[in-house]
Amino acid sequence: MSLLVVGVSHRSAPVSVLERAALSADAQAKLLQDTLAAEPAAEAATLATCNRIELYADVDKFHAGVAELSTLLAQHCGVGLEELTPYLYVHYEDRAVHHLFSVACGLDSMVVGEGQILGQIKDALALGQELHTAGRLLNDLFQQALRVGKRAHSETGIDRAGQSVVTFGLEQLAGGADVAGWARGKRALVIGAGSMSSLAAATLARAGAGEIIVANRTQARAERLAEILGGAGVTAAVVPMDAVDGELARADLVVSCTGATGLVLTAESVARALGEEFTPAVPAAEADAEPTVEPAAGTAADAVSDAFSDVPADATAATAAARAVDALEQHGAWAGTAGTAAPRPVRRIAADGAAPPRLALLDLAMPRDIDAGVHRISGARLVDIESLADASADAPMAADVDAVRTIVADEVAAFGAAQRAAHITPTVVALRTMAAGVVAGEIARLDGRLPDLDDKERAEISQTVRRVVDKLLHAPTVRVKQLASEPGGAGYADALRELFDLDPLTVAAVSRADLTDLSNTDVKNRGRA
């Protein structure tokens, strides 16, 4: 196994870089194809979310693989290589497996323990399979990562440590108050109708929001979301995107998560809706901490499948609502990132009886949908990705996190052993195939020398010879599989090939065959002449 992962995430890069490091669905496909065309890579898969972009590959050369994957990642995500390099991380072999398993369990997420990443890992695997860039190694790796993530959530209480990023964001807006009590009766404006915005709308519906207004560039999707919300007993309506500014003045709460590459809500429009004046000048120190950059590509949310696609068209409104909410909770798009730059100060809800802000805004998009200048508007409270990351860093860790880490460590060891054992299997199969060929040749030679043997005698001799060969090969092949499954055991396959003079091309042919159905293979290894 020569697994390599090169990536950038909320743990390694500031928001100013992550806002531009984005991969659309088309860019992901092109990245995978270009990676496979590169010499060091035999397989490739990409995990692209709003807070991480990772490229996985099976490479034959470590240093060449790192250089090639880093270059390709920079080319396709829209950030120059020189700028991106300081924020890239690299994991190799078992450490790469450990990283993906940790990601699948939610240990590497901004909100520890969140389970939404499992849907994105599933999507990454599906894309690799669709484009035929994921081979045996990456198929095994991603499928096992999904199993490990599910095991962590079923065997531990990691769910108590993690929560939906939507819920976490709403809790921050509520200032510690119960979200259901805080949101009850509020008029909410939801901008976007993708997985994350839909999850936010469903969460607000359950929390008792009085009315939910949906705005989306594709009106059909907005109408579908409003229909499902209405089926759940919530008053819901749809407005076009050009009516958003007008809706601000009537809204109590705004949630935005779109795939736009520019701002959806400016600070000026928010201030105007609140009847305030906004001074666009930004202090020099703040400008340095948060440079204004025009993003170069769409967000990874473009690649997230429609969370409502599984709801039957003829389902009742209540059934559709229930199924949609369940699907969204399991497969919502993940948004979040923590930068290394100092976070922009976040206004807290006033205490000691002071009046709370007139408008609460939650920005779950990356790049951001809502102008960070809204933080300076007295009548508004904005919680965005940066402030969520800051709040999450102070959140207490659940005791079950240690149990999940133990699961990950055990699963990494088991996966590595299985891969190493699988590596030697083609050599063992080729050896036994060669032995069977030798037995068949000797039996044919015996038939020529003793033509008077009857069928019973010939069968008994054949069985005896095969039994002798099987007994001679049994202990060595069992032992070599055990040795090969241990760290550093890859050399045993080479030793076996040398000792028995097995043709490497024949062994390679066996490795490409379906080892679960050897009867369908044409491999016959009689050694090299």
Q: How many CB atoms lie within 10 A of CB 324?
A: 26
Q: Are 383 and 346 in contact (CB under 8 A)?
A: yes
**Residue 507 and residue 511: Cα distance in Å, rounded?**
6
Which two structure tokens, joined as six digits, stand for 326?
Answer: 């369940």
Tens of pLDDT, residue by residue, the chain (529 residues) = 589 999 999 888 887 788 788 888 899 999 999 999 887 899 999 999 878 999 999 998 899 999 999 999 999 988 999 999 999 999 999 999 999 999 999 888 877 777 778 999 999 999 999 999 999 899 999 999 999 999 998 998 777 655 667 888 888 898 878 888 899 999 999 999 887 888 889 989 999 999 999 999 989 999 999 999 988 888 999 999 999 999 999 999 999 998 787 899 999 999 999 988 887 755 544 444 444 333 333 333 333 234 334 444 444 333 443 444 344 333 333 333 333 333 334 443 344 444 578 999 999 887 789 998 999 898 999 998 888 877 766 555 556 788 899 999 999 988 988 877 776 777 778 788 888 888 888 888 888 888 888 888 888 988 898 889 888 888 877 777 777 666 666 677 777 777 777 766 655 555 554 434 433 433 333 333 2
Q: Are 363 and 370 in contact (CB under 8 A)?
A: yes
Report which residue type is found at 183. Answer: A
**Residue 447 and residue 468: Cα distance in Å, rounded?**
19
Q: Which residues contact 299 (CB under 8 A, 6 or more apart)?
A: 22, 24, 50, 259, 261, 365, 366, 367
Q: Which of 50, 77, 105, 257 is catalytic?
A: 50
What does the pLDDT read at residue 284?
47
What does the pLDDT read at residue 47?
95
What does the pLDDT read at residue 163?
60
Strands of 105-210 (E only): list them.
Answer: 187-191
What does the pLDDT read at residue 504?
64
Phi, psi of 276 (to 5 degrees): -110, 160
50 is catalytic: yes
pTM for this predicted structure: 0.59
Q: How many CB atoms lie within 10 A of CB 51?
A: 25
